[in-house]
Amino acid sequence: MNLFRSEEHIYRWLGARSPGATMPATTLSALAHAWWGDRLAPQWKPHSRQQNQAILDSVGLVGDFWQIAHG
Amino acid sequence: MSPADIALRNETYQAFVALGRSPSAEEVAVVMRMTAAEVRAGWRRLHEDHALVLNAGGTEIRMANPFSAVPSAYRVWATDRWWYANCAWDAFGICAALRSDGRIETSCADCGEPVKVAVEDEHPDEPSLLFHCLVPAHRWWDDIVFT
């Protein structure tokens, strides 16, 4: 889960590996704030799988790659 | 996850942030009024539940996500100190967890060029940067350190 300067850099880094998923830093920040924002809350409780899937959905990360539970 | 294990997890996270590093089992035991052995046993259950990640020996914390207990390629300046993140996602996550603006320092994973990103009001000041996730979501916990 890395940062890159451009698509060109991602594909050079991948080499022969199949690409995963790419998003702009703005989407990553929105995802991170939704995902991690409660981690230090005094009454933190574990997220359910459904809650985590809803967070991914909320920032537009949909499709098979982003399914936490696989068929 | 039992209420007792959730309480142990929450105290462990509070200790991590208060100390600016991973707490030892002995340090958490004092606050929790438990033995260090009981803390380690609880940590192992939390590890199995993916609530934190222990080192290979199973005795010390490797990740209290989004925080890394060991130096990494992702440094984050927030709340007047440096933190290490496990990955780019976690680097933004440290700002989120601390509810703080911050500055992320890393390098492009391809070329090694330094990358600095300021996070203000949850927004990065370098929106042209790209994040790549290699592993599909259903396999993240197959090897969370690699992920």
Q: Give tens-digit pLDDT for B11-32.
A: 999 999 999 999 999 999 999 9
Residue B141: pLDDT band (50, 70, 90) is: confident
The pLDDT, as a whole number, for residue B52 is: 95
Using CA atoms, how far residue B144 sits from A2, B55, B64, B137, in Å, is 14, 12, 12, 11
Query: B82: which strand partners?
Result: B77
Confidence label for B139 from pLDDT (cuts 50, 70 and 90)? confident
Tens of pLDDT, residues B73-132: 999 999 999 999 999 999 999 999 999 999 999 999 999 999 999 999 999 998 899 999
A66 vs B: CB within 8 A: yes
Where do the domains of chain B lie, and which CATH numbers do they carry? 3-64 (1.10.10), 68-124 (3.15.10.60)
- At B49-82, the pLDDT tens digits run 999 999 998 889 999 999 999 999 999 999 999 9
Q: What is the Cα–Cα distance from B124 to B115, expressed in whole angstroms? A: 12
The closest CB to that of A25, out of B10, B51, B129, belongs to B129
> Average pLDDT of A14-40?
95
Question: With 90 as the cut, is the pLDDT of residue A13 above it?
Answer: yes
CA distance A54 to chain B (A): 13
What b/e readout covers A27-53, taking b as 16+ CB neighbours within 10 angstroms? bbbbbbbbbbbebbeeeeeeeeeeebb
Looking up tokens 């911050």 gives B102
What pLDDT is stored for residue A5 in this prediction? 95
- A4 pairs with which residues across the strands? B130
pLDDT of A33-61, one tens digit each?
999 999 999 889 999 999 999 999 999 99
CB contact set of B62 (below 8 Å; sequence gap of 6+): B53, B54, B55, B68, B69, B70, B145
ipTM confidence: 0.93
Shortest CA gap B122–chain A (Å): 7
